[in-house]
């Protein structure tokens, strides 16, 4: 069935509005922050759930030429979106058997192990070498780096275009791990002396010039979520509104939702919202957190279920079935929701569901 946009909007359980103009403004803020270092765009996980098909081309138009995804499959999709010129790096490396696909789309894998180096060497194609500077997650250990240096044939057959590592504590600028990882990374760079260097994610890009090196790799800041205490000047990107499915009045003593996790101690007016954990609205918000309407906070009562949750709507007698309440926006950010849910803004964004009606705004500079 072919529905018009207003019809789609009318039947949607929620409206997710993504301000691509604000993403571009945040990119420009980062470019100025890290210059003369180059600034990449991290668009893994479908641009943190917001739509790489819309966001990556906007970043390209803003001058971004270096794009990071996590998976080869994401790289293949991004190649189709961006065309042949973009540099597309794949952070999670090269699973065995993925070489041909990576070559076919001219992807630049991040080689994280000696096995990956060996699997890539015969392609003659460019690659990034990642070293582990202390996070113990991905990249060559110091012993692996020495083994690579000792294997001249392997080293010389690799076309390495970048040396990278990743910070484990960039969101805590005073954490001693930042300086020790920086030192470890520079030690590795002296072993591979001719390679350009990349260390900083969003938060690391605000640690001072010594962390910028040749290329920064911000993701979170592009999408307007909190990355670290020194990050300033970033615009919000996401607005999420959810439909009121039903209103009801209950007497004192009535219980609400699965498991009767809330019992009214007075008569209450409730609104049932047509969004649940299947939409990425965390179940951990049961009896925590809120929706907003007309500047009023409507606390969540009872458990969040798969397709709905209930709020105390006593403060807004004008609320009607079909109205939209704010879940992310002016009154509460994705990071506020994350704090209520015991997680981080990254997880809230990347879980945003597929059932919302999506609206993309491309206004230059983004909303203020």
Ligand X SMILES: *Cc1c(COP(=O)(O)O)cnc(C)c1O
Binding site for ligand X (CB under 6 A): 42, 44, 91, 166, 201-202, 217-220, 227
Which C-beta is closer to ligand X: that of 102 or that of 138? 138
Which C-beta is closer to ligand X: that of 161 or that of 264? 161
Catalytic residue among 8, 27, 44, 54: 44
Q: Are 243 and 322 in contact (CB under 8 A)?
A: yes
For residue 254, the minimal CB distance to ligand X (Å) is 44
Which C-beta is closer to ligand X: that of 22 or that of 227? 227
Taking the C-alpha atoms of residue 298 and residue 94, their distance in angstroms, rounded to an integer, is: 47
Closest C-alpha among 95, 152, 201, 135 to residue 109? 95
Collapsing DSSP states into helix, strand and coil, what is residue 33?
Answer: helix
Closest C-alpha among 296, 281, 259 to residue 328? 281
Phi-psi region of 48 (alpha: psi -120 to 50; beta: other; left: phi over 0): left
Using alpha carbons, list the distances in angstroms from residue 300 to 66, 87, 182: 42, 45, 44
Using alpha carbons, list the distances in angstroms from residue 359 to 16, 128, 237, 368: 6, 36, 12, 18
Taking the C-alpha atoms of residue 148 and residue 140, their distance in angstroms, rounded to an integer, is: 9
Which C-beta is closer to ligand X: that of 14 or that of 93? 93
Phi, psi of 14 (to 5 degrees): -170, 165
For residue 92, the minimal CB distance to ligand X (Å) is 8
Catalytic residue among 54, 121, 258, 260: 258
Ordered DSSP codes for 122-172: TT--EEEEEB-SSSSSSSB-HHHHHHHHH-HHHHHH-EEEEEE---SSTTS
Using alpha carbons, list the distances in angstroms from residue 256 to 246, 247, 259, 304, 335: 14, 13, 8, 10, 27
For the chain, the distance separating the N- and C-terminal CA atoms, rounded to the nearest angstrom, is 38
Which C-beta is closer to ligand X: that of 13 or that of 33? 33
For residue 225, the minimal CB distance to ligand X (Å) is 8
* 194 catalytically annotated: no
* 356 catalytically annotated: no
Q: Give me 231's structure tokens.
A: 């990050």
For residue 175, the minimal CB distance to ligand X (Å) is 14
For residue 150, the minimal CB distance to ligand X (Å) is 26
Which C-beta is closer to ligand X: that of 77 or that of 220? 220
Q: Which residues are catalytic?
A: 44, 258
């Amino acid at each position: 069935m072919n529905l018009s946009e207003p019809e789609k909007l009318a039947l949607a359980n929620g409206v997710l509005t993504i301000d691509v103009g604000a993403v571009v403004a945040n990119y420009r803020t980062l470019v100025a922050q890290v210059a003369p270092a180059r600034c990449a765009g991290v668009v893994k996980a479908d641009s943190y759930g917001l739509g790489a098909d819309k966001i990556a081309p906007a970043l390209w138009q803003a001058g971004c030429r270096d794009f990071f995804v996590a998976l080869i499959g994401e790289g293949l999709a991004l190649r189709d979106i961006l065309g042949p010129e973009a540099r597309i790096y794949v952070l999670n490396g090269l699973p065995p058997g993925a070489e041909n696909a990576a070559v076919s789309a001219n992807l630049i894998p991040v080689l994280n192990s000696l096995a990956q180096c060996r699997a890539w060497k015969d392609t003659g194609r460019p690659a990034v070498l990642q070293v582990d500077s202390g996070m113990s997650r991905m990249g060559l250990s110091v012993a692996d780096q020495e083994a690579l240096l000792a294997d001249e044939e392997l080293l010389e057959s690799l076309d390495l275009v970048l040396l990278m590592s990743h910070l484990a504590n960039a969101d805590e600028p005073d954490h001693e791990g930042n300086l020790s990882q920086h030192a470890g990374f520079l030690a590795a760079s002296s072993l591979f002396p001719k390679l350009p260097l990349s260390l900083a994610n969003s938060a690391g890009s605000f640690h001072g010039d010594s962390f910028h090196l040749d290329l920064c790799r911000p993701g979170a800041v592009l999408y307007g979520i909190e990355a670290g205490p020194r990050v300033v000047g970033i615009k919000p990107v996401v607005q999420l509104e959810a439909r009121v499915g039903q209103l009801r009045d209950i007497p004192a003593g009535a219980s609400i939702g699965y498991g009767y996790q809330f019992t009214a101690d007075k008569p209450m007016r409730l609104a049932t919202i047509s969004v649940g954990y299947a939409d990425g609205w965390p179940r951990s918000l049961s009896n925590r957190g809120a929706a907003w309407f007309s500047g009023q906070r409507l606390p969540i009562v009872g458990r969040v279920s798969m397709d709905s949750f209930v709020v105390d709507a006593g403060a807004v007698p004008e609320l009607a079935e079909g109205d939209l309440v704010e879940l992310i926006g002016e009154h509460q950010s994705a990071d506020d929701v994350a704090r209520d849910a015991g997680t981080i803004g990254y997880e809230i964004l990347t879980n945003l569901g597929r059932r919302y009606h999506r609206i993309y705004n491309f206004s230059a500079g983004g909303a203020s």
